């Protein structure tokens, strides 16, 4: 039987700032700043993280069949 999981995130102040507000570039730096390489199904998306983060990413991707994401911004 298929299991469907959902999730949502936002910053503590209720929104994630766009690039014009600065600081956004730091949000995903941890995906590429580590010693352990974790490939994904997309060769352009190979993570380089700490060993602990790599273990978490591997466990997450091994049980994920499809990832659907949507971004939005309210002004």
Q: What is the pLDDT of residues 41-75, one digit of tens each?
A: 888 889 999 999 999 989 988 888 877 776 655 54
pLDDT at position 54 is 94
pLDDT at position 37 is 94
> How many Å apart are CA 42 and CA 46, to the nearest integer?
8
5-26: average pLDDT: 69
72: nearest Cα among 31, 22, 19, 15? 15
Q: Cα 22 from chain centroid?
A: 19
The length of the chain in residues reads: 75
């Amino acid at each position: 039987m298929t299991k469907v999981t959902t999730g949502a995130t936002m910053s503590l102040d209720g929104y994630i700032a766009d690039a014009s507000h600065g600081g956004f570039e730091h949000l995903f730096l941890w995906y590429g700043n580590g010693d352990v390489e974790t490939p994904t199904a997309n060769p352009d998306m190979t993570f380089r993280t700490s060993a602990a983060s790599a273990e978490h990413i591997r466990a997450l991707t091994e049980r994920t069949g499809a990832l659907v994401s949507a971004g939005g911004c309210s002004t």
